[in-house]
Amino acid sequence: MIDFVLLINRQGKVRLTKWYAPYSEKERTKAIHEVTNKVVGRSSRLCNVVEWRDKRLIYRRYASLYFLFCVDKTANDLLVFEGIHFMVELLDRYFNNVCELDLIFNFRKAHHIIDEFLIAGEFSESSKRNILRACSAHDQLEISYDVHS
Amino acid sequence: MVKNLHELVKGVRAHKDDQEAFIQTSMGNIRAEIKDKKPDVRAIAVQKLTYLNLLGHDISFAAFDILSLMSSPKFHIKRVGYLACVFAFTNPQAALMSTSLFQKDIASTDVHEASVALSSLSSVATPDMARQLLPHVMPLMTSSKPYLRKRAIVCTYRLLLQYPEGLRDSLQHLAKRLGDDSSSVRMVTINVMTELVLKNPKNYVKLIPTFYDILKQSNNNWSLIKLVKMFAVLLPLEPRLSKKLEKPISNLVKTTVAKSLLFECIRTTVLGMPDKAELMRESVEKLSLFFGERADGTRDQNLKFLGLVILSKVLAVHPRIVAEQKPMIMDCLDDPDVTIRIQALGLVAGLVTRRNIKETVTRLMEHTKADASTKEDKKEEEKEKE
């Protein structure tokens, strides 16, 4: 259902990318460029669904970050909104009031959290509790060499 | 001295003026670190590369080094490799090198190793890899751990996208998962089946009774949405289905509070059961919720847009029902969002009759004077009506 996930801030800086469909390196750069131009800076009075190529971009802005999912045209837009919100709540619970800086310095953790929820572009778990439990199990396993982790 | 990831991020943020220079220097260091004997040093280097990729740098040169991390027996190092490979294996040769490693890790007795391999494989597989690895992924759909079953199911789907010939052997295994003990495995199976059904509905007509049973029993909204979506494309293929579905869908329309589910039910009614006028009328009445005010007095633009999109679809089969919503549609002509105005305009054009044409054109002329940007569109619409 989902081709890729993009987290961009209002200046157009990319904070996280997740790719679920085959895009080459060049295609990825091009896609990010086009999508950023379409979405960043859009008035908040406009609706959050934008047609792009043969796909649809569904996004929501939370504070300084745009959370953007690129989906097929057949996707249920409202379901995708629910998914975006679910993901934001997950990050919020894990990082305790998440902010952009958390995602900048801990982008790897953010990846692992999202991986528990979105597997290969499909919503795979509807219980936040189960996801957060799996994440803390992984944290115990992982001996990290980062100072802040 | 090896700077860790945190230092790199801080450094990039600190060097706002000479960022490129700083990154080039760091990249130079990383190229050396990535060949270090100690796997921990290499792991940190690859973490840094993952970050630099985020900033737009191509890291495919490190594919082979990342592969060496993926084969580490230590989970935290393996994981770093598997995360990076999604960003580095962007050319088919690199991915192909990893096939035997994926095969080994998928079969691992360690749940975490297998799951991280399955997740990354979904994003990285080429058609050749898919063909080779599908027989190794499929057995995991019956693993004793639901955690693995879920990942195996979605991975199978992504592999099938690359190697569609594999569907013949995997379909029956996928279909069995619809009756899995774990609710989240069932949900994942439904998600995957939806995508498959949308692509080629005629292969799945025999599963209609199973889907129908699940529809009646499930109370998971996300799964219900997918099932209803599947029925939209299955309805034209099975004439008896329309009669059987009318009641359950009508029930959902009447009782659900989830707008997402309501939206899907209406869409399916319109696409698959256009003759069910009563259901259509109920659905369109409920649709007025999409245009209503929220608690803070504002209206949800997204709901408005989607409401109008659905009404356009209903228009083709039941124009009278849509005509009942005319005041709401005319209001949308005043909306600040141009995409909403254009949708509303399309509807208004479709609702024009000999009786109301004068009133409609008058209203549109007022708009033409007020707003120059949609002047062209409005002139087009008027010409068409004449």
Q: ipTM of the predicted structure?
A: 0.86
pLDDT in tens, A63-109: 899 999 999 988 999 999 999 999 999 999 999 999 999 999 998 89
Containing H/E element for A118? strand A118-119
Q: In whole angstroms, give the CA distance from residue B53 to residue B310.
A: 41
B162 contacts on A by Cβ (under 8 Å): 22
Block residue for tokens 């054109």: B361
By the 10 Å C-beta count (0-12 exposed, 13-18 middle, 19+ buried), A96 is classed as: exposed
For residues B386 and B382, give the distance between their C-alpha atoms in angstroms, rounded to a whole number: 7
**Type and span of the H or E element at A8:** strand A2-9
> H/E/C letters for each residue in A24-74?
CHHHHHHHHHHHHHHHCCCCCCCCCEEEECCEEEEEEEECCEEEEEEECCC
Chain A residues within an 8 Å CB radius of B229: 74, 76
**Given a cut of 60, is residue A149 above it in pLDDT?**
no
Tokens of B230: 């599947």
Assess contact for B322 and B347: CB atoms under 8 A.
yes
pLDDT tens digits along B80-105: 999 999 999 877 777 888 999 999 99
What the block records as the tokens of B321 is 């029902």
Cα distances from B22 to residues A106, B11, B27, B52, in angstroms, run 21, 8, 9, 11
> CA-to-CA distance for B366 and A3, rounded, in angstroms?
43
Tell me if A120 and B51 make a contact (CB, 8 A cut-off): no
- Residue ranges making up the domain that contains A30: 2-148
Report the Cα–Cα distance between both ends of chain A, in Å, rounded.
31
Question: Are A113 and A90 within 8 A, CB to CB?
Answer: yes
pLDDT average, residue stretch B312-317: 85
- Give the angle A132-A136-A139 at the CA atoms, nearest 5°: 140
Q: With the C-alpha atoms ordered B343, B349, B353, B356, is the resulting torsion angle positive or negative? A: positive
Query: Degrees (nearest 5) of the Cα angle B382, B383, B386?
Result: 90
| Of residues A28, A104, A119, nearest to B150 (C-beta) | A119
Q: Give the CA-trace dihedral at A128, A131, A136, A137, to 10 degrees.
A: 150
Nearest residue on chain A to B227, judged by CA atoms?
Answer: A76
Chain A neighbours among B 272-331 (CB < 8 Å)? Answer: 301-306
Single-letter code of the amino acid located at B92: P
A86 inside 8 A of chain B by CB: no
Alpha-carbon distance A143 to nearest alpha carbon in chain B (angstroms)? 6
Which residues touch B370 (CB under 8 Å, ≥6 apart)? Answer: none
Contacts 24+ apart (CB under 8 A), B204-210: B204/B230, B204/B234, B205/B234, B205/B237, B205/B238, B207/B175, B207/B178, B208/B234, B208/B238, B208/B241, B210/B175, B210/B178, B210/B179
Listed residue (A52, A66, A81) closest to A8, CA to CA: A66
Predicted local distance difference test score (pLDDT) of residue B271: 84
Cβ within 8 Å of A, B 34-73: 40, 43-44, 47, 50-51, 54-56, 58, 60
Find the CB nearest B184 among A23, A74, A125. Answer: A125
As given in the structure block, the two tokens for residue B372 are 């120059």
Chain B: closest CA distance from residue A93 (Å): 21
Number of compact structural domains in chain A:
1
Contacts of B262 (CB under 8 A, 6+ apart): B252, B253, B256, B283, B286, B287, B289
Facing A79 at nearest CB: one of B54, B56, B225: B225
CA distance B386 to B384: 5
Q: Which residues of chain B lie closer than 8 angstroms to A108, CB-CB?
A: 5, 47, 50, 80, 83
Residue type, B67: L
Q: Of A47, A79, A147, which has the smallest distance from its Cβ to B302's Cβ?
A: A47
pLDDT interval class at B313 (50, 70, 90): confident
Q: What is the mean pLDDT of residues B166-172?
A: 92
Determine how β-strand A14-19 pairs with β-strand A118-119. Answer: unpaired
B25 touches chain A (CB under 8 A): no
Closest among A78, A84, A67 to B309, alpha carbons compared: A78
Structure tokens at B376: 């062209």
CB pairs under 8 A between A and B: 149
pLDDT of residue B384: 61
Taking the CA of residue B242 and the nearest CA in chain A, the distance in Å comes to 21
All residues of chain A having their beta carbon less than 8 Å from the beta carbon of residue B302 are 47-49, 77-78, 81
Q: Inspect the interface and report whether the beta carbons of B188 and A119 lie closer than 8 Å.
A: yes
pLDDT value of position B335: 83
- Nearest Cα to Cα of residue B57 among B80, B28, B35: B28
Count how many Cα atoms sit within 13 Å of the Cα of residue A108 in the half-sphere of its side chain.
Answer: 28
pLDDT > 90? residue B257: no
B349 falls in which pLDDT band (50, 70, 90)? Answer: confident
CATH of the domain at A137: 3.30.450.60
Element (H, E) at B181: none
Q: Say what the pLDDT of residue B373 is.
A: 53
Contacts with A, B 154-173, CB within 8 Å: 154-155, 157-158, 162
Q: Kindly report, residue by residue over B227-246, the tens digit of the pLDDT.
A: 999 999 999 998 889 899 99
The B residues from 352 to 371 touching A (CB cutoff 8 Å) are none
Q: Name the band, by pLDDT with cuts 50, 70 and 90, for residue B204.
A: very high
Subunit contact B91:A24, Cβ cutoff 8 A: yes
